[in-house]
Structure 1
């Protein structure tokens, strides 16, 4: 059978990578759900959330009825297996505290978080690319100083906690200068949370990008392209950036997952509606179905983004180095 009929080795490579990622999704979701289930059960009895929280003064009969209704009168193993079955069928049950189907709560709270994480992801990449391109192309007398300054900024950005950066932005832009709102669901209310999430990831991506791009700038294929009359802009976008971006693209799945988890802190800090605030409130009252549903959704999105990152890396990789 010919290569055209059977498919090229390169196509087989990306198909195998996607299959491996999809198979790993099962383990990721199972491990995540298991850890959350036993951690919340160890933190206390969820019957308090069902009965209205501490101090509800529910009668013994009402408490017993609620335990039977939600299956909390069964053994912990039976409850665990039941929870896994619900996850497999995407039926997370009803919220203990809100008395609503968990799937409805997730449908309402996931889109704002995905929007925030996606905008932050795009901004992080843009900031990283601008910083690295400036640093690599810095020439002349102040070239070394510019590179050192940008490297210092990238390092500080990558290690700055998001809650600390968010608090600084609120104090500066919302309280002192009053040019941007600290809260709100409109476009203006997205700016500070997006910057808060994007800056640390941008610093990390810039560190990953700088070395490969600096090497690619002086690589033989770049020198050949210049000798053929290609402009520096064309060399950058057609040759050097494609090679240099591969490590950062490979880490994009991790970066997006980090943005989703960081949204928990940022949404609480900026009082934004979203999955982060929903999980924070649910964890406080030990609302097990909501917490498990939320973390499973985050895990699924994380795996999906990892698959997309693998595909993107393969597509961007120059043909001569594809495996």
Structure 2
């Protein structure tokens, strides 16, 4: 078990280091002078002139006046110590402070979306497999395809038209109260729920045909006992793996949904930082979202042996044998 845990933590650290390095390389590959782009991007209209003193000050603060290797090593040190500089597009506030303000509403949206995603996905999978008649199962499976086929921003607009502008059940914009979370969370959750339902339903059908399930039926167990004791546990293994991938979809979908519903958060900060060419903030957002994804994936990997102890055993499989298809990003 210990070698497995150390191996997974090592993989997570490598991925996180890759995200940090990528955020550093982005600034180096930007055409033109990053300091000039930052300065002109934070001025109204983005077309102001920059004095030599202003440019020198920004280059010093961003570490651009040092050799490349020193820049990289210094950047790694700053990341580790959370010294991420100032956000030029946010009145030169500390980047950590800006991220803290945006992280809370995004976490609220993400956790609510993930909860709805799991509930809708599991319900859709069970309905498409266990409903008593073929046509009911076909209807349930068709509904799950909607979440895969329809882009999240289209779902957001439809939900706004029906439940906000039409029925006026939920507010269209803002973050006031729990009701403001319903529509944006549902718009994000439906995309992943369709993928989850398809994967889980396919896994249930595969497990239902395996030998140990046939033996359980032959022993006289009721259909409910066979389902709960032998089918769902084994069928849930690829679904559990998929959760880590779906979290990445939630993070990427938040940028679109927060813009549509005018919600503050990490996604909205991405849009504003790119528009303002605020490189310190962009770099921090890359690290933050990459770190969240790595953290969730690590938690999934470390708890996976609780469902299948063979994973952590010497010579055990690192992943379940069934392939998992990653959700499409809209």
Range class of TM-score, shorter chain? 0.7 to 0.9
> CA offset at residue 80 of structure 1?
5.3
Task: Report how far residue 239 of structure 1 moved.
Answer: 2.4
Candidates 28, 34, 45, aligned match of 2:37: 45
**Of residues 87, 94, 108 in structure 2, which corresponds to 1:101?**
94
In 1, the alpha carbon distance for the partners of 2:305 and 2:61 equals: 47
Alignment of 1:82-93 (within 5 A): 82-93=74-85
2:162 corresponds, among 167, 172, 180, to 172
> 5+ unaligned residues in a row in structure 2: which ranges?
317-330
Deviation of residue 195 (structure 1)? Answer: 0.4
Q: In the alignment, is residue 163 of structure 1 matched against residue 156 of structure 2?
A: no
- Structure 1: unaligned runs, 5 residues or longer: 1-9
Report what 2:321 is aligned to.
none
Q: What's the TM-score once normalised by structure 1's chain length?
A: 0.84
Structure 1 vs Structure 2 CA RMSD: 2.9
The verdict on how the C-alpha distance between 1:233 and 1:22 changes in structure 2, with shifts beyond 3 A counting, is farther
Preserved contact between residue 39 and residue 55 of structure 2 (Cα < 8 Å)? no
The answer as to 2:205 corresponding to 1:214 is yes
**Alpha-carbon deviation of 1:302?**
0.5
Partner of 1:115: 108
- Partners of 1:137 and 1:198 in 2: how far apart? 23
Candidates 112, 122, 132, aligned match of 1:129: 122
**How many angstroms apart in 1 are the aligned matches of 2:30 and 2:308?**
42
In structure 2, relative to structure 1, the CA distance for the partners of 1:18 and 1:68 (3 Å cut) is closer
- Cα shift at 1:178: 1.1
Report how far residue 231 of structure 1 moved. Answer: 4.7
Change (3 A) 1:263 1:23: same
Question: Comparing both chains, which one has the higher relative contact order based on Cα–Cα distances under 8 Å and sequence gaps of 6 or more?
Answer: 1
Q: Which of the residues 6, 16, 20 maps onto 2:7?
A: 16
What does the per-residue CA deviation read over 1:200-242, in whole Å, with 9 as the maximum and x for residues that have no partner?
Answer: 1011111111111112234343344455565544433332111
Give the C-alpha shift of residue 38 in structure 1: 3.0
Q: Residue 261 in 1 paired to residue 255 in 2?
A: no
Please state how far the C-alpha of 1:283 moved relative to its aligned partner. Answer: 0.9
SS at match of 2:89: coil
Structure 2 counterpart of 1:145: 135
Q: Determine the structure 1 residue equivalent to 2:285.
A: 294
Q: Is the 8 A contact 2:84 2:96 kept in 1?
A: yes
Deviation at 1:313, TM superposition (A): 2.5
Instruction: Label 1:77 to 1:320 Cα distance change in 2 as closer, same or farther (>3 A).
Output: closer
Kindly indicate whether the alpha-carbon contact (under 8 Å) linking 2:304 and 2:311 is maintained by their aligned counterparts in 1: no
SS at match of 1:273: coil
Partners in 2 of 1:30 and 1:61 — Cα distance?
29
Deviations 1:134-162 (A, max 9, x none): 221122xxx22122222222222112211
Name which of structure 1's ranges 283-292 and 303-312 shifts more when overlaid on structure 2: 303-312
Moved more, 80-89 or 199-208: 80-89
Given that residues 109 and 274 in structure 1 are in contact (C-alpha distance below 8 angstroms), is that contact kept between their aligned partners in structure 2? yes
Cα 1:304–1:41 change in 2 (3 A) is: farther
Provide closer, same or farther for how the CA distance between residues 234 and 16 of structure 1 changes in structure 2, counting only shifts above 3 A.
farther
User: Which of 188, 196, 200 in structure 1 is aligned with 2:179?
Assistant: 188
Q: TM-score scaled to structure 2, two decimals? A: 0.82
